């Protein structure tokens, strides 16, 4: 799912379809001088943002949250902000704590404009304008670095901090920012009651560790964990990606130093040592790596021919095409198909209809070939699909019910035949959304979620698409009879969000296509990753 969140950019200037989107920006959130949440000093809760929430940090009024938010940022859309009542999500961050502490509104553009975002006032509930702390936002543009580091550390002879017992050590990693400040990027787990902890190996993207800059300082603090949140500082040391990576072949030992102890005690040597036990780098593959390596997208179309769409000859019908304008169905098909066909080398697209009475015997079919060829339902190009679709409109009788499961199972059956990553199936279902076989469809999607396939649902018409939203699985992972979908493979978008009054259809359709296809790369990657499939090497040209 995700289109609902990602697509809310109506009225924006659209970069040409297929062009590289804007840039990715990582937001880091801190608060300063929050008021106590409750009389008894309840802990400040996680901050919620409109697109996510931070973790909870107990017992502090000055939390530095580790969880980051990566946002797409489109410069082109900014100028349109003022045209809308509701700014698009990617430009506005809404903060409100669970035990409501206060809130602030800010445009992402403002945060990006000033390197460290302006401290933002947090108004208290019911007392607008009353300050109850500040939120600090740091936005940094992410470099395109795609490597992932796995490392493991241990420590020796750390200082004893606990009166009873030893210490409960953990590590906190910070990367340095361009302006010399530090941003938390990782915390290890706590190892209880030891001065010689061995932490679990962990992975971190290189861009999180150093934003792709191999020589940036990486600072590491060693703390003794305390139940009440007042963790004791044991010491610190600094390194860089480059230095860490040299350790691939040997152990590297760092002295942990506590500057205050060093000043006070003449004989102070160190507060222990930390040893890098292992360090390895793996490349994170992209969608493009797989496509270049020969993975084919196989595109299948399914079109809703149920009676709820209205008689195609009537102008009110969703299938109605005037001499001057395509129907909503045809528009959606064209918009999505024309982009996806670039990734499908034979450009033969199986196309089905469902929910109609089909000649010659007038039986209801939930999966009839639009080209009337049961042996080979493939149409040549999107033009071929359109032609067969119009042909079918003239020959079948719109009926019902609206069953999705048969087409989903059909494509899943084909997808199950080649699971080595060389083929990935995308099923586009265009529907008015009045689904009749919800249970069967959920079951079919849960089964399909372990196969190399994704499902795009475009909802046309004025319906409330609650069922479609549920299938999309953005809020709650889809399940059927106690079984959960392995991956999110459904993307739903309502067509009406893309029909603008200005009559500029071309722009709206480009945006529809972009939003509909937004999740396909990630869904493909999640399949490849869980199956441990690497891209094949690009064919030599
Ligand atoms: C998928 O697409 C590729 C390339 O276009 C084609 O060779 C292959 O036969 C297709 N697979 C199916 C099951 O249609």
CB of 346 within 6 A of ligand 1: the answer is: yes
Q: Calculate how far, in angstroms, residue 346's C-alpha sits from the geometric centre of ligand 1.
A: 7
Domain identity same for 112 and 157: no
* pLDDT class of 72 with cuts at 50, 70, 90: low
Domain identity same for 83 and 211: no
Q: Sort 79 into a burial class: Cβ within 10 Å, 0-12 / 13-18 / 19+.
A: exposed
Q: What count of Cα atoms within 13 Å lies in the side-chain half-sphere of residue 232?
A: 16
| Tens-digit pLDDT profile for residues 210-256 | 877 888 899 999 999 988 888 999 999 999 999 998 876 677 899 99
Distance of alpha carbon 512 from the chain centroid: 18
Of 255, 271, 237, nearest to 158 by C-alpha is 271
> Of 261, 283, 305, which one is at a domain's C-terminal end?
283
Task: Kindly state whether residue 325 falls inside one of the protein's structural domains.
Answer: no
Domain identity same for 292 and 279: no
**Both structure tokens of 333:** 């098909």
Counting the structural domains of the chain, the total is 3
Domain identity same for 33 and 131: yes
CB of 298 within 6 A of ligand 1: the answer is: yes
How many angstroms separate the CA atoms of 445 and 492, rounded? 13
Task: Kindly state whether residue 322 falls inside one of the protein's structural domains.
Answer: no
Question: Is the pLDDT score of 9 beyond 50?
Answer: no
Domain identity same for 361 and 494: yes
Task: Kindly state whether residue 100 falls inside one of the protein's structural domains.
Answer: yes
Q: Calculate how far, in angstroms, residue 415's C-alpha sits from the geometric centre of ligand 1.
A: 10
How many angstroms separate the CA atoms of 431 and 221, rounded? 55
Question: With pLDDT > 70 as the criterion, what percentage of the chain qualifies?
Answer: 75
CB of 295 within 6 A of ligand 1: the answer is: no
Domain identity same for 91 and 107: yes
Closest ligand 1 atom number to CA of residue 346: 5
Q: Calculate how far, in angstroms, residue 341's C-alpha sits from the geometric centre of ligand 1.
A: 12
Helices (H) and strands (E) in the chain, counts: 13, 28
Does residue 385 contact residue 333 with C-beta atoms inside 8 Å? yes
CB of 341 within 6 A of ligand 1: the answer is: no
Closest ligand 1 atom number to CA of residue 425: 1
Does residue 135 contact residue 95 with C-beta atoms inside 8 Å? yes
- pLDDT, average across residues 102-120: 56
* pLDDT class of 444 with cuts at 50, 70, 90: very high
Of 82, 72, 86, nearest to 27 by C-alpha is 72
Domain identity same for 259 and 307: no
Domain identity same for 159 and 137: no
Selected residue with higher pLDDT from 96 and 280? 280
The residue whose CA is least distant from atom 6 of ligand 1 is: 346
pTM of the model: 0.60
Q: Calculate how far, in angstroms, residue 301's C-alpha sits from the geometric centre of ligand 1.
A: 14
Domain identity same for 342 and 470: yes
The residue whose CA is least distant from atom 13 of ligand 1 is: 414
Cβ count near 124 (within 10 Å): 16
Q: Calculate how far, in angstroms, residue 431's C-alpha sits from the geometric centre of ligand 1.
A: 25
CB of 296 within 6 A of ligand 1: the answer is: yes
Q: Sort 435 into a burial class: Cβ within 10 Å, 0-12 / 13-18 / 19+.
A: buried
| Tens-digit pLDDT profile for residues 387-439 | 999 999 999 999 999 999 999 999 999 999 999 999 999 999 999 988 999 99
The residue whose CA is least distant from atom 2 of ligand 1 is: 298
Contacts of 44 (CB under 8 A, 6+ apart): 31, 34, 37, 57, 60, 61, 63, 97, 99, 101
- pLDDT, average across residues 94-122: 53
Residue 362's region, left for phi above 0, alpha for psi from -120 to 50, else beta, is left
The residue whose CA is least distant from atom 1 of ligand 1 is: 298
Between β-strands 217-224 and 232-240, what pairing exists: parallel, antiparallel or unpaired? antiparallel
Of 147, 138, 229, 219, nearest to 190 by C-alpha is 229
Cβ count near 20 (within 10 Å): 6
**Both structure tokens of 53:** 């929430």
Task: Kindly state whether residue 327 falls inside one of the protein's structural domains.
Answer: no
Beta bridge pairs of residue 169: 224
Q: Calculate how far, in angstroms, residue 261's C-alpha sits from the geometric centre of ligand 1.
A: 68
Output the domain CATH number for residue 433. Answer: 3.40.50.410
**Both structure tokens of 16:** 């040409």
Output the domain CATH number for residue 110. Answer: 2.60.40.150
> Of 141, 170, 205, which one is at a domain's C-terminal end?
141
Closest ligand 1 atom number to CA of residue 423: 1
**Both structure tokens of 294:** 């020969």
How many angstroms separate the CA atoms of 270 and 252, rounded? 16
How many angstroms separate the CA atoms of 536 and 326, rounded? 40
- pLDDT, average across residues 64-82: 52
- pLDDT, average across residues 291-305: 89
Q: Name the residue of 290, 296, 539 whose CB sits within 8 Å of the most ligand 1 atoms, as the mutation to test its pocket.
A: 296
Beta bridge pairs of residue 179: none
Domain identity same for 72 and 181: no
Q: Name the residue of 346, 381, 539 whose CB sits within 8 Å of the most ligand 1 atoms, as the mutation to test its pocket.
A: 346
The residue whose CA is least distant from atom 7 of ligand 1 is: 346
| Tens-digit pLDDT profile for residues 308-326 | 999 998 988 999 988 888 8
pLDDT at 332: 87
Domain identity same for 255 and 298: no
Three-state secondary-structure class, residue 135: strand
Q: Name the residue of 298, 349, 418, 524 whose CB sits within 8 Å of the most ligand 1 atoms, as the mutation to test its pocket.
A: 298
Of 246, 308, 307, 302, nearest to 276 by C-alpha is 246
How many angstroms separate the CA atoms of 465 and 435, rounded? 10
CB of 344 within 6 A of ligand 1: the answer is: yes
* pLDDT class of 17 with cuts at 50, 70, 90: very low
pLDDT at 151: 94
The secondary structure of residue 179, as a DSSP letter, is: T
> Of 141, 174, 205, which one is at a domain's C-terminal end?
141
Task: Kindly state whether residue 253 falls inside one of the protein's structural domains.
Answer: yes
Task: Kindly state whether residue 61 falls inside one of the protein's structural domains.
Answer: yes
**Both structure tokens of 241:** 């990606």
Q: Output the average pLDDT for the chain.
A: 79
Task: Kindly state whether residue 10 falls inside one of the protein's structural domains.
Answer: no
**Both structure tokens of 90:** 């990617």
How many angstroms separate the CA atoms of 92 and 101, rounded? 19
Does residue 5 contact residue 473 with C-beta atoms inside 8 Å? no
How many angstroms separate the CA atoms of 298 and 51, rounded? 32
**Domain of 356?**
288-314+334-370+377-384+391-530
- pLDDT, average across residues 432-452: 94
Task: Kindly state whether residue 4 falls inside one of the protein's structural domains.
Answer: no
Does residue 12 contact residue 76 with C-beta atoms inside 8 Å? yes
How many angstroms separate the CA atoms of 317 and 308, rounded? 9
The residue whose CA is least distant from atom 14 of ligand 1 is: 298
Of 219, 232, 161, 154, nearest to 189 by C-alpha is 154
Long-range contacts of 75-84 (CB under 8 A, 24+ apart): 75/22, 75/23, 76/12, 76/13, 76/14, 76/15, 76/22, 77/9, 77/12, 77/13, 78/109, 79/13, 80/11, 80/12, 80/13, 81/107, 81/109, 83/11, 84/10, 84/11
Contacts of 457 (CB under 8 A, 6+ apart): 429, 430, 431, 468, 471, 472, 490, 491, 492, 493
């Amino acid at each position: 799912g995700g289109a609902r969140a990602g697509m809310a950019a109506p009225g924006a200037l659209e970069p040409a379809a297929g062009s590289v989107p804007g840039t990715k920006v990582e937001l880091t959130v801190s608060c300063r001088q929050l008021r106590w949440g409750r009389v008894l000093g309840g802990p400040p809760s996680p901050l919620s943002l409109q697109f996510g929430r931070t973790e909870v940090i107990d017992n502090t009024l000055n939390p530095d949250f580790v969880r980051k938010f990566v946002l797409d940022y489109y410069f082109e859309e900014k100028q349109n902000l003022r045209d809308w009542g509701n700014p698009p999500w990617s430009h506005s961050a809404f903060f409100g704590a669970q035990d409501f502490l206060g809130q602030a509104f800010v445009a992402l553009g403002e945060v990006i404009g000033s390197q460290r975002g302006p401290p933002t006032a947090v108004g208290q509930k019911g007392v607008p304008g009353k300050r109850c702390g500040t939120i600090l936002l740091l936005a940094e543009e992410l470099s395109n670095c795609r490597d992932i580091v796995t490392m493991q550390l241990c420590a020796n002879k750390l200082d004893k901090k606990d009166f009873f017992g030893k210490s409960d050590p953990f590590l906190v990693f910070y990367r340095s920012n361009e302006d010399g400040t530090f941003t938390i990027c990782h915390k290890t787990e706590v190892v209880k009651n030891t001065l010689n902890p061995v932490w679990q190996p962990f992975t971190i993207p290189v861009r999180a560790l150093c934003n792709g800059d191999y020589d940036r300082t990486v600072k590491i603090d060693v703390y003794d964990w305390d139940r009440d949140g007042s963790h004791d500082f044991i010491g610190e040391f600094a390194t860089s990606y480059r230095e860490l990576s040299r350790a691939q072949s040997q152990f590297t030992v760092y002295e942990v130093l506590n500057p205050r102890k060093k000043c006070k005690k003449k004989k102070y040597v160190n507060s222990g040592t930390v040893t890098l036990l292992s360090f390895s780098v793996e490349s994170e593959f992209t969608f493009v790596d797989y496509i270049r390596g020969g993975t084919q997208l196989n595109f299948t179309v399914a079109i809703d021919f149920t009676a709820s769409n209205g008689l195609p000859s009537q102008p009110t019908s969703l299938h109605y095409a005037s001499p001057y304008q395509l129907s909503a169905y045809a528009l959606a098909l064209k918009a999505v198909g024309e982009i996806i066909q670039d990734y499908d080398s034979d450009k033969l697209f199986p196309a089905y209809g469902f929910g109609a009475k089909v000649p010659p015997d007038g039986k209801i079919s939930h999966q009839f070939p639009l080209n009337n060829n049961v042996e080979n339902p493939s149409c040549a190009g999107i033009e071929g699909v359109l032609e067969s679709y119009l042909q079918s409109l003239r020959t079948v009788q719109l009926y019902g019910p609206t069953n999705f499961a048969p087409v989903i199972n059909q494509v899943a059956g084909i997808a199950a035949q080649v699971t080595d990553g060389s083929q990935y199936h995308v099923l586009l279902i265009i529907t008015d959304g009045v689904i009749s076989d919800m249970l069967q469809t959920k079951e079919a999607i849960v089964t399909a979620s372990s196969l190399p396939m994704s499902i795009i649902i475009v909802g046309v018409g004025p319906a409330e698409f609650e069922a479609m939203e549920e299938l999309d699985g953005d809020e709650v992972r889809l399940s059927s009879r106690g079984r959960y979908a392995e991956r999110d493979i459904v993307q739903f978008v309502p067509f009406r969000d893309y029909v603008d009054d200005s009559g500029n259809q071309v722009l709206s359709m480009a945006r529809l296509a972009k939003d509909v296809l937004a999740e396909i790369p990630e869904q493909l990657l999640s399949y490849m990753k869980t199956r441990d499939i690497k891209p094949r090497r690009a064919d030599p040209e």
